[in-house]
Amino acid sequence: MAKIIGGLAVSHTPTIGFAVDHNKQEESAWAPIFEGFAPMQEWLEEKKPDVLVYIFNDHVTSFFFDHYSAFTLGIDDHYEVADEGGGPRDLPPVKGHAALSQHIGASLMADEFDMSFFQDKPLDHGLFSPLSALLPHDGGWPTQIVPLQIGVLQFPIPTARRCYKLGQALRRAIESFPEDLNVAIVATGGVSHQVHGERCGFNNPDWDEQFVDMIVNDPQRLTEMTLAEFATLGGMEGAEVIMWLVMRGALSANVKKTHQAYYLPSMTGIATLILENQSREAPFDVQQRQRDKIAQQLAGVEKLPGTYPFTQARSLKALRINRFLHRLIQPAWRERFLTDQNAMFAESKLTDAEQKLLRELDWRGMIHYGVSFFLLEKLGAVVGVSNLHIYSAMRGETLEEFQKTRNQQVLYSVAGKAKA
């Protein structure tokens, strides 16, 4: 079974990544940052976690306000470095543990957390700024990640209590994963700072110290605070420290603190913290109970003939071809598809098998491969094939045979009026 070995908490200010990139670790203004990071580096080197469940927030880089979710879990097998305006940092992509991510996602949904999920999105300084100071990365990172993005920039945002409860559910999810893995929970963000408006530059070292003490010794008390109270004490952007409660909720009630440090160089209080888990085995198999709970909603669906639930695993496998088909909602892409397919296939890096499915309009084969039906009907609208033709192909029947099973023999598609 997967085991949570501890929790790390660290600020994610871009200051950290800037200092790494410009080799400022030994300069007097910057050295205290890395003195605080050194015990965390040593802990990670000693414990060698297989996976870091990494709690962070994006800074309007990959997650814009046109679709902004409270809790968004990465389910990909790798994550690139985002370009935040001046070009991406010179860091390698980090591998994701897709199987653990997908299990966590299913478990959180079973525990009634309405999650969002993402693939193929680069990650910004919220993740890579502290990660680049925590781990060696020449030639690649020594561990895999499961990124959990918390939407803390556009109100309403999750409460402190909800974040803590998410952490408790995260523990159930990780500990019920059947593979033997050592997992560390990394929380990022904070501590006190404000970067906008006339209150820009606000800091509160006394609150930072009190907050870290409460995270260690009395996290439940923090869940009673409102977001306005966090902002009053720690600055509006500093209220993002509620993300630390996700990490703390995933650990045992009693923890062993092995490191704590703090430094305020400029705009953001930079705190580092190591908590070692002190969990105990339950007298009953609670992990199997959680796995049974996860499986309950789809139990028996495998007995339905010709039925293929669109799972995250299928989605990840068929992401390229699904994205290709999704772009058919763009007029210019549609026009190119009708006149220049080969170049588009190469540009989109479709496999030979994926290209064959599209060239042959193998509707049922695409479903078997992992294409969403609702992208097939877009393809049908572009090439002039009605939904009913696609439905009949699903059953291996001619249109005439299929129509005999319908109450009314009509044709339709999702094409607009000019195309219909």
Q: Which active-site residues does the annotation give?
A: 125, 193
Characterize the bridge pairing of strands 270-277 and 255-263.
antiparallel
Characterize the bridge pairing of strands 144-150 and 182-188.
unpaired
Which residues, at least 6 apart from 165, have a Cβ–Cβ distance to it below 8 Å? 249
3-state secondary structure labels for all residues of the chain: CCEEEEEEEECCCHHHHHHHHCCCCCCCCCHHHHHHHHHHHHHHHHHCCCEEEEEECCCCCCCCCCCCCCEEEECCCEECECCCCCCCCCCCCEEECHHHHHHHHHHHHHCCCCCEEECCCCECHHHHHHHHHHCCCCCCCCCEEEEEEECCCCCCCCCHHHHHHHHHHHHHHHHCCCCCCEEEEEEECCCCCCCCCCCCCCCCHHHHHHHHHHHHHCHHHHCCCCHHHHHHHHCCHHHHHHHHHHHHHCCCCCEEEEEEEEECCCCCCEEEEEEEECCCCCCCCHHHHHHHHHHHCCCCHHHCCCCCCCCHHHHHHCHHHHHHHHHHHCHHHHHHHHHCHHHHHHHCCCCHHHHHHHHCCCHHHHHHHCCCHHHHHHHHHHHCCCHHHHHHHHCCCCHHHHHCCCCCCCCCCCCCCCCC
What sign for the dihedral angle of Cα 365, 369, 370, 375? negative
Whether the Cβ atoms of residue 53 and residue 184 lie closer than 8 Å to each other = yes
Number of other residues whose CB lies within 10 A of the CB of residue 89: 19
Separation between Cα atoms, residue 207 and residue 102, nearest integer Å:
37
Q: How far is CA 6 from the centre of its chain?
A: 20
